[in-house]
Amino acid sequence: MNVRRLMIMTFTDRGYELGADISNSMNGTDCIKIRVERIAAGALYEKTSYAWKNGYDLLFISAVGIAVRAISGLIDNKLSDRAVIVTDENGRYVIPILSGHVGGADILARYIAGCTGGEVVITSASDIRGVPAFDEWAAHNNFSILNKVLIAPIYDRVLSGRIIRLLCIDHEGEVPFEKCNRRIIDAGSNLVNACDDTPDVIIYGGIDMSIIPGLIREYSAGSLIMAARNLIVGVGCKRGTCEDKIMARIRTVCDEHGFDTRLIGTLATIDLKADEEGIRSVCANNRWKLETYTAEQLREVKGDFDSSEFVEKTVGVDNVCERAAVRAGGRLLIPKSIYDGVTVAVAVCDRL
* Domain boundary residue, one of 197, 225, 253: 225
Instruction: Give the domain CATH number at 344.
Output: 3.30.420.180
The answer to whether residue 221 sits within a structural domain is yes
Together in a domain, 66 and 158? no
Together in a domain, 220 and 238? no
Together in a domain, 219 and 246? no
Together in a domain, 117 and 147? no
Together in a domain, 85 and 156? no
The answer to whether residue 180 sits within a structural domain is yes
List the Cα angle 47/51/57 in 5-degree steps: 130
Tens of pLDDT, residue by residue, the chain (352 residues): 677 889 999 999 999 999 999 999 887 655 568 899 999 989 999 999 999 988 899 999 999 999 999 999 999 887 889 999 999 999 999 999 998 888 888 889 999 999 999 999 988 766 666 666 788 888 888 999 999 889 888 888 888 888 889 899 999 888 888 777 888 877 665 554 555 578 999 999 999 988 899 889 989 899 999 999 999 999 999 999 999 999 999 999 999 999 999 999 999 999 999 999 999 999 988 999 999 999 999 999 999 999 999 999 999 999 999 999 999 988 999 999 999 899 999 999 975 4
* Domain boundary residue, one of 208, 225, 242: 225
Instruction: Give the domain CATH number at 62.
Output: 3.40.50.11220
How many whole angstroms separate alpha carbon 347 and alpha carbon 266? 10
Together in a domain, 102 and 43? yes
Domain that includes residue 248, residue range: 231-349
| Structural domains counted in the chain | 3
pLDDT of amino acid 176:
80
Name residue 217's amino acid.
Answer: R
0.85 surpassed by pTM: no
Together in a domain, 190 and 260? no
Q: For residue 73, count other CB atoms closer than 10 A to its CB.
A: 10
Together in a domain, 23 and 70? yes
Together in a domain, 51 and 31? yes
The answer to whether residue 132 sits within a structural domain is no
Together in a domain, 248 and 204? no
Together in a domain, 216 and 259? no
The answer to whether residue 133 sits within a structural domain is no
The answer to whether residue 134 sits within a structural domain is no
pLDDT of amino acid 4:
82
The answer to whether residue 299 sits within a structural domain is yes
The answer to whether residue 15 sits within a structural domain is yes
pLDDT of amino acid 132:
66
pLDDT of amino acid 129:
65
The answer to whether residue 323 sits within a structural domain is yes
Together in a domain, 205 and 219? yes
* Domain boundary residue, one of 166, 193, 225: 225
